[in-house]
Structure 1
Amino acid sequence: MSPTIEQLLAQQHATLEALLRLLEQEREAIVKRQSGDITRFAKDKKELVDKIQLQDQQIARHSQSNQLKENPDFTRQVDTIQNLLSECMHHNELNGAALQRAQLSFHKLNNLFQQSLGHHQTYNKEGVAQNLRSIGTNLKA
């Protein structure tokens, strides 16, 4: 037996709530710079978005889908789902911006680190970098 339109709407609502919770966890991982968690959350987020899209297709193909605009109860549920989706999209945009800022900060720090290494390194005739502190310390004379 196929699910009712009410069941499909409830499933989609629950999936969107799960996505919203995941986005909140992702934000915390970005702030704490927990790269392993960020990667895991990105994978989980993709799975939830795929599930939401599948649920949306099931709702659209359902025999009662025309009632979504006619029945006030369904209309309210759809409005709630759309508001939840908008909230998820907003959180995702904020997380994306925070992740970009974190990456930029990392790149700046990495560049400063590389520059500081460059000031204290020289290259031997084989092209291998050597710290200035080690030059001349291995003399045998």
Structure 2
Amino acid sequence: MSHTIEQLLELQQATLQSLARLLEQEKGAIVSRQSAEIERLAKDKLNLINSIQQQDHLIASHAQRQRLTEEAELTAAVDSIKATAEKCKELNEINGEALQRAQLSFHKLNNLFQQSRGKNQMTYNSEGAAQSIRSLGTNLKA
């Protein structure tokens, strides 16, 4: 089924608005550290981005694409699409930075746990040298 250029522009705008809503949901999932939800939203985001690329290709190869620069109504629609795409790009960058901060925070916390675990397993031998013992108190035969 062949779509009009107007229908393709409306579809592109609707898909970009869906992406913007999804990016807001992703932000909430990142803030609340819901890893399963983040993963699901990432897959949905990829599907939407693929749809946007396909729609963009259909618009670029449409027989009436020259109307996009000739008619004020279509030019305004293209400008709106570009603005929504820019908003999505900004939201995605913000989410990416938040994910990086969360990952850095996780690594710092993990390092603290590793250090803490190492301190609890530290003991001294008969010469007074520190040594780490993993079986402290677990190999008693009494």
Q: Residue 60 of structure 1 aligns to which amino acid in structure 2?
A: A
Q: Show the counterpart of 1:48.
A: 48
Structure 1: segments with no counterpart, 5+ residues: 123-128
Please give the alpha-carbon distance, in whole angstroms, between the structure 1 residues aligned to 2:138 and 2:64. Answer: 83
Task: Describe the shift of the 1:138–1:34 C-alpha distance in structure 2 as closer, same or farther (beyond 3 A).
Answer: same
Please give the alpha-carbon distance, in whole angstroms, between the structure 2 residues aligned to 1:32 and 1:137. Answer: 39
Task: Describe the shift of the 1:19–1:137 C-alpha distance in structure 2 as closer, same or farther (beyond 3 A).
Answer: closer
Identity %: 59
TM-score (norm 2): 0.89
Q: How many residues align?
A: 134
- Give the match's secondary structure for 2:21: helix
Alpha-carbon shift at residue 130 of structure 1 (Å): 1.9
Structure 2: segments with no counterpart, 5+ residues: 123-132
Task: Describe the shift of the 1:115–1:71 C-alpha distance in structure 2 as closer, same or farther (beyond 3 A).
Answer: same
Alpha-carbon shift at residue 121 of structure 1 (Å): 2.1
- Cα distance per residue 1:88-127 (max 9 Å; x no partner): 00000000000000000000000000110111226xxxxx
Q: Show the counterpart of 2:65.
A: 65
Q: Show the counterpart of 2:134.
A: 130
Q: Residue 26 of structure 1 aligns to which amino acid in structure 2?
A: E
Alpha-carbon shift at residue 137 of structure 1 (Å): 5.2
Q: Show the counterpart of 1:111.
A: 111
Q: Residue 139 of structure 1 aligns to which amino acid in structure 2?
A: L
TM-score (norm 1): 0.89
Q: Show the counterpart of 1:92.
A: 92
Q: Show the counterpart of 1:121.
A: 121
Q: Show the counterpart of 1:12.
A: 12
CA RMSD of aligned residues (A): 1.8
- Give the match's secondary structure for 1:130: coil
Please give the alpha-carbon distance, in whole angstroms, between the structure 2 residues aligned to 1:99 and 1:31. Answer: 9
Please give the alpha-carbon distance, in whole angstroms, between the structure 1 residues aligned to 2:25 and 2:105. Answer: 21
Please give the alpha-carbon distance, in whole angstroms, between the structure 1 residues aligned to 2:80 and 2:52. Answer: 15
